[in-house]
Amino acid sequence: MKSKSIVSLILVLAFFSLTLGLSPRSAEAGAVEIETLVLHFQNNDVFAPHSVGIKKGWFKEAGFKKIEWKSFTAGALAGEALIGGEIHVWNPGNLPVISMRHNGVPVVIAGVLTVCPAEFLFVRNDAGVKKPEDLYNIRIGLLAGSTQTGVMENLALHYGLDPSKFEIVNLPPPEQVTSLLNNDIQASPLFPPFPYDPKVRKIATYMFDSLKFSHTNVPIVFTESFIRKNPNAAKAILQVLLRGQEYCDNPANKEEVMKIHQEFTEQPMEIIEMGWEPYWGHPDLPNGPINQRFVDDMQNYTDFLHRHGRIKKPMHPLDYTFTRFLEEIKPELVQIKGRWTP
């Protein structure tokens, strides 16, 4: 009897020695490693999955106790917040991701939220621009380092222009609109929702088919260290955003999702409605897959940055793309595997 008690005591002590020092959350298999999730957020319709995920409680279902978000006027401006640990996931256009990765910032693409040519070149009606070469004679406002720069270069090369001869004014998106209205600039490749502003449409016109020169995707981006330290949290965030993506892409949910997104952005419904099409419900340009189009779009902007000396040794996009979580969540989206591993 005594020997049995000793054996029992040894087993109990062994159990506690194995679990000692583990928090209840880390001891729980698959539990997210952080309690407060901080999302990157913007007013445009790209972020409808975030609004839906918060409203429907999907992030909390995934294990996060508190959901916060930080608002930015452009995705490129949120990159520093990711590196500084102010947000946990970043959803910019793909060009800033390429630039940061090549400049030694350890960011990783874990999925694609939307495939979205969405840079609308609006030119003031009184600017005297009739043909592409007239763009040499005006001031063009855009955000340096954003996808706007790549689109304007692609447009210029298509029309046989020298993009270095454009007079560029570096402005964040809200100031692009203000400057366009004040005639401080005469054109800008505007991101949604700004192309749908009635004041813009009154004084300017969409020109030269700029959308067809866009290779913009909105990836789901983490830092390498976040994935390594918080794999369950990273996978949970990805899973909720993909759930939101699927929900937003379903035309049957369009009205509901737009109302939810309006609650979060406090924008007029007509602006949300007009800005919907570049991002959601276009079967000819499906959202989400890591495929050859993804690689080609990333490579196009990589080549642009290399031509201008902004990156020295181009990396292949798959070298900083991580697809294991995506394969586990929604394997049909992984048509080409990423090469980065934790």
Q: Considering the entire predicted model, what is its pTM?
A: 0.86
Compute the average pLDDT of residues 145-171.
95
Task: List residues bridging with 68 in a β-sheet.
Answer: 38
Please report whether residue 18 resides in a domain: no
Given a cut of 60, whether residue 265 has pLDDT beyond it is yes
6 in any annotated domain: no
Q: Which domain holds residue 251?
A: 29-116+216-333
Average pLDDT, the chain: 90
Question: Which alpha helices (H) appear in 33-129, and where do they start and end?
Answer: 48-55, 58-61, 79-83, 94-102
CA distance 64 to 31: 9
Percent of the chain predicted with pLDDT > 90: 81
- Model pLDDT for residues 170-191, shown as the tens digit of each residue: 999 889 999 999 999 999 999 8
| pLDDT of amino acid 123 | 99
CATH number reported for the structural domain that contains residue 93 in this entry: 3.40.190.10
Within 10 angstroms of residue 334's Cβ, the number of other Cβ atoms is: 21
- Residue 12, domain member (yes or no): no
pLDDT of residue 115: 94
Same domain, yes or no: 73 and 97: yes
- Residue 19 confidence (pLDDT): 34
Q: With bands split at pLDDT 50, 70 and 90, how would you rate the model's confidence at 118?
A: confident
**Could you say which of 157, 188, 213 is where a domain stops?**
213
The pLDDT score that the predictor gives to residue 8 is 39
pLDDT single digits (tens) 188-231: 999 888 998 999 999 999 999 999 999 999 999 999 999 999 99
Name which of 103-107, 118-122, 147-151, 275-279 the model is least confident about: 275-279
Which pLDDT value is given to residue 76?
Answer: 82
> Does the structure show a pLDDT above 50 at 152?
yes
- Same domain, residue pair 45 and 71: yes
Better-scored residue on pLDDT, 26 or 122: 122
Residue 247 parent element (H or E): helix 231-249
Q: What is the mean pLDDT of residues 109-133?
A: 96
Q: What is the mean pLDDT of residues 23-50?
A: 81
According to the model, what pLDDT value does residue 171 have? 96
Reported as a single tens digit per residue, the pLDDT across 57-71 is 999 999 999 999 999
CB contact at 8 A, 40 and 78: yes
How far apart CA 189 and CA 148 sit, in angstroms, is: 6
160 shares its domain with 230? no
Which of 196, 213, 230 is a domain's end point?
Answer: 213
Together in a domain, 176 and 300:
no
Residue with tokens 């020298």: 162
pLDDT value, residue 285: 85
Return the percentage of the chain with pLDDT > 70, whole number: 92
Higher per-residue confidence, 73 vs 342:
342
How many Cβ atoms from other residues are within 10 Å of residue 2's Cβ? 6
Instruction: Give residue-wise pLDDT tens across range 5-26.
Output: 333 333 333 333 333 333 333 3
pLDDT score at 29: 52
Average pLDDT score over residue span 260-266:
95
Provide the pLDDT for residue 47: 97
Q: Are residues 285 and 139 in the same domain?
A: no
